[in-house]
Structure formats: C-alpha cells, structure tokens
A and B are shown apart, each in its own frame.
Chain A
Amino acid sequence: MNNLARLSDEVLTTRLQRAAFSYLIDYANPATGLVADTSRPGSPCSISVVGFALSCLPIAVGNGWISRADAARRASRLLKFFMQSKQSDAPDATGYKGFYYHFLDMETGQRVWQCELSLIDTALLIAGVLVVGVYFDGGGDEIEIRELADSLYRRVDWRWAQNGTEGLSQGWKPECGFLHYGWEGYNEATILYILGLGSPSFPLAPAGYVTWGLTYQWEHLLDRDVLYSGPLFTHLFSHAWIDFRGIRDAFMREKASDYFENTKSAIVIHREYGERNPHGFEAYSRDFWGVTAGEGPAAEECRENGRDRRFYGYMSRGVPYGPDDGTIAPWAMLATLPFATDTALAGTRRLLEKYPQVCSQDRFSSGFNPTLRVGSGGWLSEGWFGLDQGLLVMMIENHRTGLIWEIMRRSRYVRDGLKRAGFEGGWL
C-alpha cells in the first residue's frame, strides 16, 4: 500500500514523474538504447516509446536525474542505431523510406509481429529525435547528435506515404502495401501532419492537412463545444511536444478557439461523462475518468442486471460514443495537468486514495477496471506501458516548466510545419 495521496502536489508529481522516467531507463536495451513497449518479459521495442524516451532526456537533465553527458550518450546511441539500421522493403528490415516499423526486436532492431510501418509512431519517434537535435546545442559529441537528428528527419519520405493521394494512410506493410485505414476526424495525427509539412526534403502538400480537416466534427456535446475525438490520448499526444496555446490554424480561427482550449473542453466532457456514468460503471464520477487507449480485461465477461457486459482488450476507448467497458487509464488524469491542473490533481489523489493498487513502484498501470471484480479489487493490467510513462513525464514537465514546448518552439522544422498547416498567431 502506498501513501502517495498524502504527499504535497509538488512532491507527488515529482515522485511520479521520476518513477515514470526511470521506466525509460530501466527497460532500455543497453546496447541499442531501444526501449520496451511494456515491462513484461519478452516485450519488443515500440518506436513511439523511443520517441518519448528521447524527449524525456532533457527533462531528466533539467531535474538532475542524469547528467547532460549521460543524456547525450543515450541520445547518440539511439540516433546511431536508427541511422544505421536496415532500411528496405524486406519484411525483416527496421524501416523503409525513413519510416520505422511499429515494433522492433529489442536486441536486433528488426521488425517483429509482422507489424506495420507506422506513420504515427514514426512521427512520435521523429518528434523525440527533433527534441534532442535542438536540445543538444553544444560542441563535441553534441554536434553529431544534431547532424544525426537532422539526417533522420530529412530521410523520412512523407510524400511516399501519401500514396498518390492528398491524405495519409496509417501505415504500410511489405505483404500488402498501404493499409486501407486513413485518418478520419480529429485525433492524435496533428503532430504527424506538422512534421510531414515541415520537411525540407519530402514535404507533404498543405492540401493534405486541409483535406484531413474536412473530416473534423465541431460538436456541442454534453453541454460543451468541442472538436470531437473520443479517446483522451488523442487530445494529449501532439500537445506533449507542441504548445498550441494561442496559435490557430484555419479551423480554429473559424471556431475562435485553439487546440489547447479544445483539450480543456474535451477534459470537461470526459468528466461530465464520468459524472453521468450512463452505463453504470463502478467508480465513474467527475473525479474518476480517463477513458482512452489502453489495455483492458479482454475476453472477461460478467452478467449484470440481466445483460452481458462485454470487456475489451487493448483498444482505443472513447467518450461519449464508446467503446467504453468501464476501463480507465490511471495515468490519464495526471497527464492533463497542463490543461486542468486542479481537476487533474483532485482526480489523481482520489484514485490513489481509493485504489492505491493502480500505482506500484510509483508507476501507473495502463488500465484499471473496478467494474470487473477480480479478487478483492477491480481488474488491473499487469506491469507498465512505456507510452503512458513517457507521456506522463512530458506532461508534468510541460506543466511545471514548459521545457519541451520551449525546445520545440526552437525547431525550425516544427515552425515551418505549423506555418504550412496554416497556423499563425501567438508565439509563432
């Protein structure tokens, strides 16, 4: 049993942040630097987790958890690995056209699980690459980091990923080519488009971003205006890197809002949904929310009030249209710290008080479902997921110092990408 809930806000968040960061160190392969997707034995590397891990290095230096030299060494090792790894259309390569496969073997870096060459996960990786490329601005070894980061970014062939269309597919496989899945409706892909637009070598045409925007839905939902997207993480991922306060693209100018404000609205809707709790899930309230992508109880079933409750495994859950099976991500409320500080802390404290098992060794689990009774408590996912830990480190830091936002403001590629997407105003 932990006593985290009794700590002051500052002590609590710092302790959770540091523990989350330590995941990115503890579960990294010392030879390649690749970071495991989860803490479970045999887990492959997830390239997006590597993107978060790279982004967290300046945070760790700033907080005195590791030295700048150590951070530079870690960054350099990873960038070299990605630069030197096999890029080809062979099924066992590490990447192709500058993109990378979603999951890689922790030892060899080769593609595993016949997974897809993932556009969004590559974008999250490259975002981390750009962070270290900007942050390490000194001489000596840091010069090489900047050069490698620049080369890795320039190598990504975003135009190829358009497959002759204006939009972007979600991925590609050597076995079947581009996946049918595209990007429909607002979601976490903003950073993907911005990085693609900012490329000096293979830039996306701005029309692609405009076309994607045509699928946005501006809704008055649960008494609040919002650019709708169901899963909470979609309102957070791009914001881990980019400070959207006061900068607006054409869509947000039309709505007299910005994406930062929109995430605040989404949080209000998630809390309102928790309060209304239409499906009668255990614990849901204005201070118990966080329906998002994450692990769930999978094939478990229970019958309640004459109806079967269905549970899902790893899936992108959303509010209010679902899917929702009573599973929340315990880390999600705290990850909203930059947008709704008081409610993020209140919800997290209440969660820690009532269900302390969701946080072991000061790290939050991926999923928790108190509706499904397992033993004395609800269902809890096993171990930790790297994405959750990385996002939490960055969001706590952005709330506290805005460090990552400040670093990315200095990236000319990001600035170019934002401008080509039509963003203007504010710090831009």
Chain B
Amino acid sequence: MPLTPRSKPEDEETFLRRVRPSDWNNPTPQKTYDLAIVGAGPAGLAAAEHAARHGFRVALIEHNRLGGNSLNVGSVPSKAIISTARVYGTMQDAEAFGAPIPSEPALDFCQVMARMRRIRTRISEYFSAYNLNALGIDIFFGNARFESVDTLLAGDTRLHFKKALIATGARPEPSDIPGLERTDYRTSTTIFDMTALPKRLAVIGGGPLGCELAQAFCRLGSHVTIVQNSPKFLPREERDAAEILSRSMARDGVDIRLNTTVVGARREEGVRILKTVNNGVESEIQANEILLSIGRAANVEGLGLEAAGVEFDTEQGIKVDDFLRSTNPDIYAAGDACLALKFTNAAQASARMATQNALMQEQLRWSQSPIPWCTYCDPEIAHIGLQVWEARRQSIPVKTFTIMMHDVDRAIVDGQETGFVKIHIAETSDTILGATIVASRASELINEMAVIMNNGIGMMALAEIVHTYPTQSEAIILAAQAYKREFDKTSHHAESGA
C-alpha cells in the first residue's frame, strides 16, 4: 500500500509555535528603541531583519501571528493550492502531451489543504519568533497604540522610540451588499479554513486573488462562478492581458459574469444565493460557499495615529511622501498600510527602503523603484514599470515590442503558447519604460525585466545578451532583437537618404 504523506498534527503545532508561541513572554523593554515596528507581516519582518542586521535596537509588535497575511492567509497558502490546481489541470491535459489521462484523477481536498499547511510550516521557520529573537529583535505580542510622537504601547508595555515604522498591512475590504453578512461568506482570511471542496463556489470580485482562486478551485473540481462589476478582470492590467485570462478561465470551466453587480445575498436551506444585475437584467447565482474578494483596506484604525501626528485616511491608508515618511518625520510606513500596490514584494521592498531612510540617513525614493507584480493564474500576468497609458499621460511617446509566446520555441515545446511579452520603450531611445508578460511562468520572466530595468539596460544591449536555449525568456531577447532590427533598418535608410 503506497504511503500517503498527510499533515501531521505537529505540523500545525510547529507552525503556531513559530508564528505565535503560546508560552511567549514579552521582553523587558529597552530604554529607547532605534526602530519600533508595528506589524510583523512581510514589511515588518523585512524591516526588523534589515535594521537588526545593521546593529540597531529593534522592537517588533504584532497583535496576531508573525508573517501577516502573506504567510498565514495570503501568498503562501494560495500559491500552494494553485500549484496543486495546476498539476490537476495538467493531468486533464495529459493527452495533449501524448500521455493518457490518469484513470483516477479524483482529488482529496484534505490532502491539498494538508500540503498547504506543511508548506506554510516550513516557510515559517526563517522568521520564527525564536529566530527573530536570536537576531536581537525584541518581539512584543499585543495590540500597538501610539501614545505620543515618540512613544507607543505594546499591550500594556510602554516603548520609547527614535523612529517607528507602521507596517500594519491590510484586511479584506468589507462589502455593503445587502444580506451578505448573513450568508457567512468567506474572505481571503477564512477561505483556507475550508475542510471540504465546495461543490459550487461564487467569487465576488475579479481582482488578482479572486481570479487566482476562482481558477484554482475550478480546476480542483468546484463549479465556480466569478462576478466582476466592471467589463474586464484585473483593472490594473492592459485589456489584452485581462481578456486572455478571461478566455483561459472560461476554457477551464469558470462561469464568468463580467459587468455584473451583486445587489443582494441571502441563504436558503443551506444554499447561498447571490442576486445579480447585468445591464439591467437580474439573475441569481446559487453556491455552497461565497468568497468576497473586492480589494483590501489598510489597517489604520485603533493605532492612536492622531496622537503620533500621523495623518491617514481609511481609503488610502497612511499618508506618506516619496521617502515613505509619514506626516510625523520620525514615523515611516511601508507595505499595504500605505501603498497602492498591495503585494508582498512591494511590502518588503518598501520596508527596507523606509528602514534605510529612517536609520541610515539615506534619501531613497519609492517612485524610482520599479516594482514587478504578478497575478498567479494560468497563464500568469505580470507587469513592471509604466503601463502604456501611464506613459502617454506623461506625454512620453511610447512604442511596444511584442513577441507572442506561440512564436517562442520553448513555449511551443512546453505546450504553453498562450500569452506574450510586451516591452514598452520611450520611442526616441532604447530606454525601457515597462513590460507586461502573459505566460505560464510570467512571475519568473518579469524578474529578468526587473534586473534589466534596475540596471538601466536598453534594448540594444539587451539584444546582445546570450540566453540558454530553449527557454521562454527567449521572448525577451526576441523583442530586443526586433528593436535592433528596426533600429538598423532606420539607420540604414537615414544613411541612404544622406
């Protein structure tokens, strides 16, 4: 009988011991901290490690678990489930690769969730409470509240600080859909508590998380309906990318309701029902579970920010300048609490930058840091830098060099031909302004663009960089080579004309 790895009880115990030890005693506070950090999500942890490794006295205050949304209920668990869904999706496509479809592709949802928890436990080790403590970081579990411009309470303990960083993250945006509260709906915070695969899942919201989980649960076997109130998914992305995703989800079997508004919700005999309107036409969606995913709201309430002289609003979060400094010059903010880009990598990068600006007399500007982001559907959709419309609004003449993935050998070999690489350049030069990638592993490809852009490499130089063959990143080189051909052609014509 084959051995099946199952989640052992100790996995969850280990996880909790790392992120919120039950026997933890808050330390006696030091006289003054160089940096007091409120919130131990990706931003807070990155800042704490960065400051501690540079020899600063750091206090880290967390009211819940270390790791924040990303580790506990966000990036890590969702990607673990998406990975399983991809495998399952590939199994269904086995014939396309010359292999038979596995005879028993039935899925054990408990095992899927157990795998997710094992992964989460494993990843939690690096930033465990004990490891952070070993780095010299004083961890205080409890609610944080500013008392003045240079003191805050961690539970009942008063901490004095020279600088502070607010990294309280964000929570799922609430909804005012009538009746939804009574349906016991789920959010990104509670979706991973499910113990059984829902037969029918209704997803409200077509942003990154909504799309990712809609596709993943569909591939795992749920009948998924996704409702988006605007005409396309992923409002931040360009239309072609969003439409490719829409068709991919439809191919998987997701029931797509674009331009549709949920106007009511109720529960009848255990069935959750959403009432929707599309262009004036009403209809209903029945589901066993509802996932609400309409955005994230910064956690700014109850922190005593007024006492600290930190301005904020409930829509935008903490008000910061380009140096990530709040209206109190000794208090900075990072991550979801203040950024429009609510992604783990943006949180970590902004935290490191804020730390350097706060403690190391640097003047690093957030606006000068191209931050890549990705939606982890299949295909993935990733972007860095300016979108075309952003460049055109700034009166920058922009031209896009596009390579379709179906023209890339490795994508053909892999059977992953859906998508494209688009590199946007300032038209009178070879300066790269931004890139959009739709590909099976766009999340990896976009990082090459991040290196290229951060090092100021232009299209001419990029065209000469030798890559391994065959790889999907060849698409980036093909785009640069297309630029070079155009440049050579124009130069030749100019010379001929002369």
Which residue from A180, A223, A310, A322 sits with its C-beta under 8 Å from B230?
A: A180
Are A321 and B420 closer than 8 Å at their CB atoms?
yes
A254 at the interface (CB under 8 A from B): yes
State whether B239 touches A184 (Cβ < 8 A): yes
A173-B280, A220-B483, A322-B247 as given contacts; A180 in contact with B400, CB under 8 Å: no
Taking the closest CB of chain B, its distance from the CB of A178, in whole angstroms, is 10
- Nearest CB of A to B490, in Å: 11
Nearest CB in chain A: distance from B329 CB, A: 37
* A278 interface residue (CB < 8 Å to B): yes
* Cβ-closest chain A residue relative to B244: A321
Output the least CB separation between B176 and chain A (Å): 19
With an 8 A cutoff between CB atoms, is B20 at the interface?
A: no
Bitwise, A204-241 to B at CB < 8 A (1) or not (0) is 00000000011111111111010000100000000000
Decide yes or no whether A40 CB sits under 8 A from chain B: no
Chain B's closest residue to A219 (CB) is B400
Distance, CA A386 to CA B461, complexed state (A)? 52
Query: With A176-B277, A181-B259, A307-B96 given, is the CB distance from A321 to B240 under 8 Å?
Result: yes
Residue from the list A215, A219, A306 in contact with B93, Cβ < 8 A: A306
B367 within 8 A of A: no
Judging by beta carbons under 8 Å apart, are A278 and B407 in contact? yes
Residues of A within 8 A of B389 (CB): 214-215
| Contacting pair A173 B279 (CB below 8 A) | yes
Interface centre among A223, A225, A307 (most CB of B within 10 A): A307
Residues of B within 8 A of A221 (CB): 402
Q: How far, in whole Å, are A298 and B245 apart by their CA atoms in the complex?
A: 20
Size class of the B contact interface (CB-based, 8 Å)? 35 or more
Q: Which residues of B contact A254 (CB under 8 A)?
A: 397
Which residues of chain A have C-beta atoms less than 8 A from B93's C-beta?
Answer: 306-307
CA distance A337 to B259 in the complex (A): 37
Complex interface: chain A residues within 8 A of B406 (CB) = 276, 278-279
Which among B230, B238, B398, B483 is the interface contact of A218 at CB below 8 angstroms?
B398
Please state if B279 and A175 are interface contacts (CB–CB under 8 Å): yes
Given A179-B279, A181-B259, A322-B244, decide whether A278 and B404 contact each other with a Cβ distance below 8 A. Answer: yes
Q: Are B393 and A217 in contact (CB under 8 A)?
A: no
A321/B243 in contact, CB under 8 A: yes
Q: A114-B281, A180-B230, A180-B231 are in contact. Are A276 and B407 (CB under 8 A)?
A: yes
Does chain B have a CB within 8 A of A188? Answer: no
A185 within 8 A of B: yes
Q: Tell yes or no: B306 within 8 A of A by CB.
A: no
Are A218 and B400 interface neighbours, CB within 8 A? yes
A interface SS class: loop
From B277, which residue of chain A is reached at the shortest CB distance?
A176
Does B482 lie within 8 Å of A223, measured CB to CB? yes
The answer for the CA separation of A176 and B229 in the assembled complex, in Å, is 13
Q: A306 near B96 (CB under 8 angstroms)? A: yes
B138 contacts the other chain (Cβ, under 8 Å)? Answer: no
| Chain B residue at smallest Cβ distance from A321 | B240
Bound Cα distance from A215 to B240, whole angstroms = 12
A13 to B399 CA separation, bound complex (whole angstroms)? 38
**A217/B259 in contact, CB under 8 A:** no
Residue in chain A with minimal CB distance to B393? A214
Chain A residues lying within 8 Å of B251, measured Cβ to Cβ, are 308, 310
Asked if A305 is at the interface of the complex by the 8 Å CB criterion, the answer is yes
- CB atoms of A180 and B244 under 8 A apart: no
Q: Chain B 87-127, CB within 8 Å of chain A: the 1/0 string?
A: 00000011111100000000000000000000000000000
B482 touches A220 (CB 8 A): yes
Known contacts A214-B393, A220-B483, A307-B93: A320-B404 contact under CB 8 Å: yes
Task: Say how far B231's CB is from chain A's closest CB, in angstroms.
Answer: 5
Taking the closest CB of chain B, its distance from the CB of A407, in whole angstroms, is 34
Residues of B within 8 A of A176 (CB): 277, 279-280
Per-residue contact bits, chain A 172-212, to B (CB 8 Å; 1 contact, 0 not):
01111001110011000000000000000000000000000
B402 lies within 8 A of A220 (CB): yes
Chain B residues closer than 8 Å to A321, beta-carbon distance:
240, 243-244, 420
Q: Within the assembled complex, what's the spacing in Å between the Cα atoms of A214 and B393?
A: 6
Tell me whether A214 and B482 are in contact in the complex, defined as CB-CB below 8 angstroms, given that A185-B239, A219-B400, A306-B95 are known contacts. no
Q: Are A306 and B94 in contact (CB under 8 A)?
A: yes
Q: Is B388 part of the contact surface with A, judged by Cβ < 8 Å?
A: yes
Inter-chain contact B279/A217, CB cutoff 8 Å? no
Please determine whether B417 and A278 come into contact, CB atoms closer than 8 angstroms: yes
- Sample of 8 more A-B contacts, CB < 8 Å, known A216-B388, A307-B96: A214-B392, A217-B238, A217-B388, A220-B401, A220-B486, A278-B407, A306-B94, A322-B243
What would 10 A/B residue contacts be, using CB atoms closer than 8 Å?
A114-B280, A179-B259, A180-B230, A180-B231, A218-B427, A220-B402, A220-B486, A223-B482, A306-B93, A323-B243
Report the 8 A-B pairs with minimum CB-CB distance, sorted nearest first: A175-B280, A306-B95, A306-B96, A278-B406, A176-B280, A219-B400, A321-B240, A214-B392
User: Which residues of B pack against A, CB within 8 Å?
Assistant: 93-98, 229-231, 238-240, 243-244, 247, 250-251, 259, 277, 279-281, 388-389, 392-393, 397-402, 404, 406-407, 417, 420, 422, 427, 482-483, 486
